[in-house]
Each structure stands twice: as C-alpha cells, then as structure tokens.
Amino acid sequence: MLMPQNEEKIKLQNLQVKRYSRLTIKTTIETAKSFGATKIEEIVDKDEIKKLVTQGIFIDGVTESTYIIVSKLTRENPPQSDDI
C-alpha cells in the first residue's frame, strides 16, 4: 500500500496512518558557519561554583538548602538502639 504524497494522514478500515518528517543534522561546523547557522552558548560551570562555595567564597545567587526526609519504618527494619 502506498500513501499519497500530499496527505499527512489517512484512515483505512480500523487503522490510521500518519506521516511524520524529521531532519537529521550531521553537517560540519564549517558548513554551518558558511550559512551563518552557528551559535555560541555560555553556561554556568556548576562544578566550579560548588568548589568555590565549599572554599568559603560567597557568590551572589547561590544558596544552600538542608533538608530531612522522614519515612515510616517497616517491621523488617526496626530501629536500632543507636538510631534513636
């Protein structure tokens, strides 16, 4: 069965057939540059920020959160005397 080229979906009895298109882009950076199709993205290096903060350096916009998790114990895991 061939699907007509100008249709995105067709129904046949109890079936629906849809056509999808997707681009796979594996061009070189040089080719993309020649079309002006490149971008430079600058992002925060979170690992470096963590190192600086642990060294005691204050960085605006960085906060540390401390939290606890409370969960119900099961009978299989009764509390140990040193856990209380």
Whether 18 has a pLDDT exceeding 90, the answer reads no
Chain position carrying tokens 């057939």? 17
Cα-trace Rg, the chain: 29
CB 43 within 8 A of CB 57: no
CB 25 within 8 A of CB 37: no
pTM confidence score? 0.44
What tens digit of pLDDT does each residue of 34-55 get?
999 999 999 999 999 999 999 9
| Mean pLDDT of all residues in 11-25 | 82
pLDDT at 44: 94
- As a whole number of angstroms, the distance between CA 45 and CA 59 comes to 13
